[in-house]
Amino acid sequence: MISNLINEFMSLDVKSVTGKDCTRLCFCFFVYENELFFGKPFSVSEFSTYVFRFYMDNTMFRELNPNKIIQKLFKYSPTDIYDYCSLQLDIIRNTMPSLIKLDKSNHYFKTLENNITKEVFLSRFKLVINAMMIKYLNMTNYWYTQELTLNEINLALEAQNLKNSRIFNRALEIINYCFICDTIDTEQLEPVSLTPLEKLNDSVKLNMFNYIVLCSNHAKNYNEGLIRINKLGYLIDHEKNYREHLPINVVKKIREFLNDCSFNGDFE
């Protein structure tokens, strides 16, 4: 089983008519990070979100991909690449038909044999991914995980430069324009922390729904406390004495965070 699995994964490649499509390599990281060989089903939507983050976090891979949506991904969302990711999964499933199956809306791998532990298998699979990175992209010592780390967030906060961190990418995933003035130019957008910086704890820092993008001018006003977003999703401008509501699709995404008690205490 293990040798067959390794051979089938190594048969995945990045070949494309033009450029290189790294989505099938991304799939390997997706499988590893989510430990999908151990009876966990996965959906196209989950894969789409992972692919979106993979390309947002890796500019070089994004530029290599011939797909125009992937190249301009900062203008889109995970739902916009659903069809693309579904097609990629079809290609992957056809490449390894003995391992990956489709059951209604979920995909899953055949369960591994009982004579190998999860730790042993994952260590072997990591070597396979490293070998694939060398074979297809001539890259060594590269590894990817979608999870943000406390260290990278703290460094960005200390440098007061959230924009040059992966926090910006996660905030763009929630909304990719300034909802106050409709600015869509990514160069003019930057992330802000919904929770005042002096109130941040580690769990809030790691919560991607704590961050939202605004244009540079409105981000400055927000960071200076001139405007705030309350638990109902209203932006409150104390100087102009008016309220504007976040787009409903954004509120749905961050509702759980907005309703968190640690967040509510800081806002009207």
Extents of the domains making up the chain = 2-137, 150-260
Higher pLDDT, 155 or 240: 155
Q: How many Cβ atoms sit within 10 Å of the Cβ of residue 21?
A: 22
Over range 127-132, report the average pLDDT.
92
For residues 102 and 108, what is the distance between their CA atoms, to the nearest angstrom? 7
Q: What is the pLDDT of residue 268?
A: 47
In the structure, what pLDDT confidence band is assigned to residue 1 with cuts at 50, 70 and 90? low
Q: What is the pLDDT of residue 109?
A: 76
- The answer on pLDDT for 267 being more than 50 is no
Query: Each residue of 7-45: pLDDT tens digit?
Result: 778 888 887 667 889 999 999 999 999 988 777 889 999
Q: What is the pLDDT of residue 163?
A: 92
Mean pLDDT lowest among 52-66, 102-116, 156-170, 239-253 = 102-116
Q: In percent, how much of the chain has pLDDT > 90?
A: 50
Q: What is the pLDDT of residue 254?
A: 82
Q: What is the pLDDT of residue 198?
A: 81
For residues 171 and 183, what is the distance between their CA atoms, to the nearest angstrom? 15
In the structure, what pLDDT confidence band is assigned to residue 218 with cuts at 50, 70 and 90? very high
- The answer on pLDDT for 148 being more than 80 is yes
- The answer on pLDDT for 262 being more than 90 is no
175 contacts: CB under 8 Å, gap ≥ 6: 212, 213, 247, 250
C-beta separation of 106 from 41 below 8 A: yes
Q: What is the pLDDT of residue 241?
A: 65
Q: What is the pLDDT of residue 184?
A: 94
Q: Is 204 exposed, middle or buried (0-12, 13-18, 19+ CB in 10 A)?
A: middle
Q: What is the pLDDT of residue 112?
A: 61
Q: What is the pLDDT of residue 17?
A: 60
Computed over every residue of the chain, the mean pLDDT equals 86
Alpha helices in 117-226 (DSSP H): 118-137, 150-158, 166-174, 202-205, 216-223
Strand, coil or helix: 162: helix
* DSSP string covering 166-189: HHHHHHHHH-SS-TTT----GGGE
In the structure, what pLDDT confidence band is assigned to residue 266 with cuts at 50, 70 and 90? very low
Higher pLDDT, 161 or 268: 161
Residue indicated by tokens 């997706």: 30
b/e burial code for range 180-191 (CB count within 10 A of at least 16 → b): beebeebebbbb
Q: What is the pLDDT of residue 175?
A: 93
